[in-house]
Amino acid sequence: MTERKPPGTTFESWVDKQIRTAQERGDFDDLPGAGKPLPGAGAPVEEQWWIKGYVRREGLSGEALLPTPLQLRKEIERLPETVRELTTEQAVREVAAELNRRIVEYLRTPTGPQVAVGPVNVDDVVARWRAERPNPPRQPAPRSEEASTRQKSRWWHRFRR
């Protein structure tokens, strides 16, 4: 930790002294990136370059910067692709219900630009999901014990003519 600036010294001379002593100690030797050019040096300065750099460094998509209603609209558009790989109807309903929950939350307290966004019809999403799925091969349902006991209890029907 650095010491406090002594009274009576100018701030500039105090900082210069600390830099000089750190150089003498070798604190600036072998730093990562030493001798390499600065990234983006010589390139024209873009508007909001720091936001673009942050998004690129963090591996985010540009959609993270969109206002909430536009993010929700994009999710509604991608919903059929999102649920396509799900295996059960219940999972499809849960994904659609979660999206509807977030849409209703936005509609209660809208922020950002006024973009028309409405909840999705869960039954329509499920119907489309079913239509896009390949039909699984039907297997005969296993006979339950209840069905077999019902047949056994009707033995008197054999003697009727």
Tens digits of per-residue pLDDT, 96-150?
Answer: 999 999 999 999 998 888 889 999 999 999 999 999 887 755 666 666 665 555 5
Res 66: pLDDT? 87
Is the model's pLDDT at 20 over the cut of 70? yes
Res 80: pLDDT? 93
**∠ CA 45-46-47, rounded to 5°:** 125
Q: For tokens 């072998």, name the residue.
A: 30
Burial class (CB in 10 A: 0-12, 13-18, 19+), 65: middle
Res 156: pLDDT? 58
Res 146: pLDDT? 58
Please tell me which residue, 50 or 102, carries the higher pLDDT value: 102
Q: Which pTM value belongs to this model?
A: 0.55
Sign of the C-alpha dihedral, residues 86, 89, 90, 94?
A: positive
Q: Give the Cβ contact number of residue 116 at 10 Å.
A: 6
Domain boundaries, the chain: 66-132
- Give the C-alpha separation, 156 to 4, whole Å: 105
Express each pLDDT in 63-110 by its tens digit: 878 899 999 999 999 999 999 989 999 999 999 999 999 999 999 998
Nearest CA-CA partner of 82 in 127, 122, 42, 129: 129
Helices (H), the chain: 11-25, 49-58, 68-83, 89-108, 122-132, 145-153
